[in-house]
Each structure stands twice: as C-alpha cells, then as structure tokens.
Amino acid sequence: MDVGRIFELFRTLHRPVTALARRVVQRIDFRELSCRVTFGLNDPAETGMLSGFLYAAFAPLTRSPSVSVRLHPVFHEQTFAYRVRGSLGVTVGRMVIPVIAFLCSRAVRGVIVKRVRGCYLLVVQPGRGARKRLPSSC
C-alpha cells in the first residue's frame, strides 16, 4: 500500500472512525476510574506545554464524578510514573448500533465496495470467453 493510498483512506475514514470511537466510548459505563500521572521533560517549557495539553485532553473525562485524573508535572527533572485503577462495564449489545451506523456510512460503504470490486472483479477476455481474475493487492 503506497503513501498516497494511506492518506486517501485517512481522509475518507477520519470522520466515520472518530464518530464510531465517540459513540463506543459513550456506551461504556465507567464505574470507577482513577489515574495519577507524574511526568517531567528535560525542558521546563516543554513540560508546561505538555501539562496544558494533558489538562485540556482530560477535561471532558473529569466531568464524571466516577473519574479522577491527577496530573503532577515535575519541572526540575525528567521523570515519568503513572498509576491507573478502574472498573468499567461493557455490554456488547449496546455496541451493535454504533458499529452498524459506522458500516452504513457513505464513506465506509465506498471503501468496502472499492475493496470488494478490486478483489473479486472478473474479466472476460474478448474472443476467448475465458475468465481470469484481475491482479490485486488482496
């Protein structure tokens, strides 16, 4: 698979995959989630930027009363330590609707149809009537 094809797939599937991930996470029941992270980089400025990014990234999670995320930036030395503890509930039946919605989205159907047609398209050679499979990257 070439780089152009990878970028095309990313452009095509970015929104459906993001929507699928969001819907699946919404259907997970977080009973308890506790996370404590201590981190520090060589440069205090980079530690500050990473700290700001992580606080912003974890903000939606910490709205839930059952989720606790504690970040401890260390500005004077390079370090990394973490502790995660939690319990969650996942019901497979609740995941069916997001998966069906993902598979039925126009972009995903287009990629599937392209792949199927590329793998299983038969060509009839003129004058001979013999069928032969197209070379593909299946």
pTM beyond 0.75, yes or no: no
Condensed to tens digits (0 to 9), the pLDDT of residues 55-103 reads: 999 888 888 888 899 999 999 999 999 999 999 888 888 889 999 999 9
Token digits of residue 108: 């995903």
In a domain, 134, yes or no: no
The answer, yes or no, to whether residue 135 has pLDDT greater than 90, is no
42, two tokens: 């060589």
- Please provide the average confidence, as pLDDT, over all residues in the chain: 84
Q: Which of 52, 43, 54 is nearest to 82 (CA)?
A: 54
Q: Is 101 within the bounds of a domain?
A: yes
Query: What is the extent of the structural domain holding 37?
Result: 3-121
| Residue 135 falls inside a structural domain | no
Tell me how far apart the alpha carbons of residues 22 and 133 are, in angstroms, rounded to a whole number.
Answer: 40
Q: Across the strands, what pairs with 35?
A: 69, 84
Residue 25: closest CA among 15, 13, 34, 17: 17
Q: Domain tally for the chain?
A: 1
Would you put residue 129 in left (φ > 0), alpha (ψ -120 to 50) or beta? left
